[in-house]
Structure 1
């Protein structure tokens, strides 16, 4: 199995840094997602790992072997990686089996070993009966499976996936997500996937690295990213959390700290090391309307019927320009006063 180590990796295009001083360690057998908005540098970082781009600075090691540093650069074809592209990149004139065997022929594997690898890879992705078909005779999901089989036939220690599900419809994406998870378990290889879709990243990966403007923002399991974002960018991007300005009154103790919001003192989850200005991260599922006296005073801005319930846009009194969303069984008129119960929240320093 092959792990991945990046140390101070930078890629500059003129004065612009597409990847800026990225250091990251991926354990052997892990499934990592590189996640971020378009233009954040995630695809460039994947291409640097693959050897399709040369870094401007830094060190890259795969399975303990240094493939790029200031004194050396191992070409892509010599890194022994598997890569699945968004476009599938299948040869239209070749059969499914011939496409899967292509990389093995390039590596000059003996014919019998090549035949066995192709059969095993096609069986793994459920396409044994399609070996003689051409790509044009396959659905989009089947073509994606062929591209994956071609990659797995090489038995690579590291599999790189560049937006592999972007061209599939919603149903096929869910099916292929299950397939990727199954194949990751069965092969034991290290998988790295690039995606801009946070739901896809959370469904696939055991660790997510969030990028923004070429830099890593946070690397953590999906649950930790959602519950305890390290930066405002991560808080807004993951789960589309609402951020409200608060005053952190004391440093966190045992993972909790008192904060001041709209004249009320709340004790919330936090890792703040000092008192001062902060941001309170709220998720809609941890908010509810309340008649209790300690409810945070607020008012309804808008209500949208969602089928069985309404989504209410709520503005908290005294907090300028911040809206939170709450699910409600009843529609409330715009401007109606309400109390807001905050069942869980995370405070981070501003």
Structure 2
């Protein structure tokens, strides 16, 4: 049984373009899904539809096998049995940590002894047992985030919705909380669905990432597959620090690879693009500097020290509008002619092509 299932879900506000357009998605029970995309792509609206905070104009939503929204039925948010962690934490400032965690349980009229046990277990799970009597104002940002998560987990929901849960934390706390979210996901056994615009966060947290663009799902895949084999130019640009370089696809080569021509050089790379105009996605780790006259001819544009390595920007011969970036232990002088060794890459059809 799926933890969450959406079939043809659409949401419009007014007469404009759909904020969510014909989205179909199945999330296995116990999975961790990240909804990833730029601002305005529809990911938060989709989360609100699942939560019951918005009504779909079309389509069906089912949670743990129970239909909560379709053309004939709409289950109110408080009746869906979901847990939700908001970006703002949404803690009651006048309540203690324990009272905040117990709030949803009181609303559900859980008996006092069960409520006390659930609160204690949830606080222990997030490492805040010693903070039960404190008020939110006495906690750090990371601790407040843990309280919000404990309040959610105390309800023992089948699905936990996370709305940009780490956006308000500094870089160090975000990394720490990523570890906590992964641990709590494993221990709770719940289905987690997180909305984020941060690709590194999505990759670190989720076992499946769904990329959205203009209200539609454009690729749903495991993080590694999404990074190594983007389905479109939009995904290739948005995920990772890659560059898209125009190439000519000559046809298939051995082992399912494609033969391409780049700046006069013939290469074999991964991909499924048909013969004709293509776009080659190059990641920094796939590239290396070699001597002039070797590899693909290029010129150094910029060399910036990033702490332990240099980030070098190159312009490939004949393609000044498509710079590529690689990392190297030593700097390279701007203007210097070099060779570019392409160890790997992924070619897809040019935009507007087949």
Same fold, judged at TM 0.5 (above): yes
How far apart, in 2, do the equivalents of 1:98 and 1:328 lie? 53
| Maintained 8 Å contact 1:249/1:257 | yes
Q: After the TM superposition, which segments of 4 or more aligned residues of structure 1 sit over 4 Å from their partners?
A: none
What TM-score do the two structures reach when normalised by structure 1? 0.96
Counterpart in the other structure of 2:311: 311
Secondary structure at the counterpart of residue 319 of structure 2: coil
Secondary structure at the counterpart of residue 223 of structure 1: helix
Counterpart in the other structure of 2:135: 134
What TM-score do the two structures reach when normalised by structure 2? 0.95
Counterpart in the other structure of 2:184: 183
Counterpart in the other structure of 1:338: 338
Secondary structure at the counterpart of residue 250 of structure 1: strand
Secondary structure at the counterpart of residue 193 of structure 1: strand
Q: CA deviation at 1:139?
A: 1.2
Q: CA deviation at 1:260?
A: 1.3
| Maintained 8 Å contact 2:292/2:337 | no
What CA deviation, in whole Å up to 9, does each residue of 1:63-98 have, x standing for no partner? 111111111111101100000001111111111111
| Maintained 8 Å contact 1:252/1:270 | no
Counterpart in the other structure of 1:232: 233
Secondary structure at the counterpart of residue 3 of structure 1: strand
Counterpart in the other structure of 1:205: 206
How far apart, in 2, do the equivalents of 1:158 and 1:330 lie? 48
| Maintained 8 Å contact 1:252/1:271 | no
How far apart, in 1, do the equivalents of 2:329 and 2:82 lie? 52
| Maintained 8 Å contact 1:2/1:190 | no
Counterpart in the other structure of 1:36: 37
1:21-170 correspondence to structure 2 within 5 Å: 21-170=22-171
Counterpart in the other structure of 1:298: 298
Counterpart in the other structure of 2:3: 3
How far apart, in 1, do the equivalents of 2:291 and 2:142 lie? 51
How far apart, in 2, do the equivalents of 1:253 and 1:300 lie? 32
What CA deviation, in whole Å up to 9, does each residue of 1:213-251 have, x standing for no partner? 111111001100110000101101111210011111114
Q: CA deviation at 1:253?
A: 6.0
How far apart, in 1, do the equivalents of 2:227 and 2:311 lie? 21
How far apart, in 2, do the equivalents of 1:243 and 1:266 lie? 16
What CA deviation, in whole Å up to 9, does each residue of 1:14-48 have, x standing for no partner? 21211111111100000000011111111110000
Q: CA deviation at 1:311?
A: 2.0
Q: CA deviation at 1:308?
A: 4.2
Change over 3 Å in CA distance of 1:319–1:189 after alignment to 2:
same
Change over 3 Å in CA distance of 1:117–1:50 after alignment to 2:
same
Alignment of 1:275 with 2:275, yes or no, is yes
Unaligned runs of 5+ in 1: none
| Maintained 8 Å contact 1:36/1:195 | yes
Q: CA deviation at 1:271?
A: 2.1
What CA deviation, in whole Å up to 9, does each residue of 1:235-283 have, x standing for no partner? 01111210011111114664311111111111100123x3121110001
Change over 3 Å in CA distance of 1:113–1:330 after alignment to 2:
closer
The CA RMSD over aligned residues, in Å, is 1.5
How far apart, in 1, do the equivalents of 2:328 and 2:346 lie? 23
1:249-288 correspondence to structure 2 within 5 Å: 249-251=250-252, 254-272=255-273, 274-288=274-288
Change over 3 Å in CA distance of 1:2–1:93 after alignment to 2:
farther
| Maintained 8 Å contact 1:2/1:157 | no
Secondary structure at the counterpart of residue 225 of structure 1: helix
How far apart, in 1, do the equivalents of 2:155 and 2:253 lie? 50
Q: CA deviation at 1:200?
A: 0.7
What CA deviation, in whole Å up to 9, does each residue of 1:94-125 have, x standing for no partner? 11111111111111111111111111111111
Change over 3 Å in CA distance of 1:165–1:329 after alignment to 2:
closer
